Amino acid sequence: MRILLIEDNPQLCVTISEYLAAEGFAIDFVHEGPVGEEMGLDPHYAAAILDLGLPGCSGLQVLINWRRAGISLPVIILTARNSWRERIEGIEAGADDYLGKPFHVQELVSRLRALLRRSYTKTQGKLKVGTLTLDESLRQAIIAPDHVISLTATEFKLLRCLMLNRNQVLSKETIFFHLYTVDADLDLDVIETHVMRLRKKIGEEWVRTVRGHGYQLQIPEQKR
């Protein structure tokens, strides 16, 4: 999944981005409020991590402008102003979660995962579609209690992307956007290769090809 990070501290941006990338997320980060607000209009972002103290336009105003424009992008607020008043302002403006500085990046990752589960699957714990379960901490696909499959980093990101968007047909471009950084020097055909490898591991029947449009996760019909 692709995450938008809007934070004016360059070093913190690098730290968060590197940590999230290692956890299987694709990250774009900017330092200014107006630029971040414009980027947040892109519907392909799965969530945003938003600092309140931004140059050009405060993070709180960015969030207010998004919600007024009907942008429902899930948002985690970061701020050093960790008082109850700022928390209330952020939540009332439309934030989904709140994390005060200083914080441990692992807590941010855990909150982000929980937010994505609530926002996209309405479930708690591991991602689950039909009899297929994705263990995010171990990066394993569980087909049955006795059938556990280890995934590569790319296979993990691809399966998570498909599971979180199970009701949508995802184009190659959309999948690429969620798997790689914007400067990745790769051809879109690499997505076909990743889909083929994932199918071999979890079963051909789980990933449906919609010709001319892309791919969709589907629950296989039960054999009689």
Closest of 200, 209, 205 to residue 219, by C-alpha: 205
CA distances from 55 to 8, 38, 103 (A): 7, 14, 22
Give the pLDDT of residue 136.
Answer: 81
Full DSSP string of 83-126: SHHHHHHHHHHT-SEEEESS--HHHHHHHHHHHHIIIII---SS
Q: How confident is the model at residue 183, as a pLDDT?
A: 64
Residues ≥6 apart with Cβ < 8 Å to 172: 188, 191, 192, 214
At 95-153, the pLDDT tens digits run 999 888 888 999 999 999 888 877 765 444 578 888 899 988 788 999 887 889 999 98
Q: Which residues, in sequence order, are CB contacts of 147 under 8 Å at separation 6+?
A: none
Amino acid at the residue 198: L
Domains and CATH numbers, the chain: 2-121 (3.40.50.2300), 127-217 (1.10.10.10)
pLDDT at 165: 86
Separation of alpha carbons 219 and 196, rounded Å: 17
Output the pLDDT for position 153: 87
The per-residue pLDDT for 224 is 44
Residues of the chain with pLDDT below 50 are 122-124, 224
pLDDT at position 87, please? 74
**How open is the CA angle 208-205-23, to the nearest 5 degrees?**
75
Enter the pTM of the model. Answer: 0.67
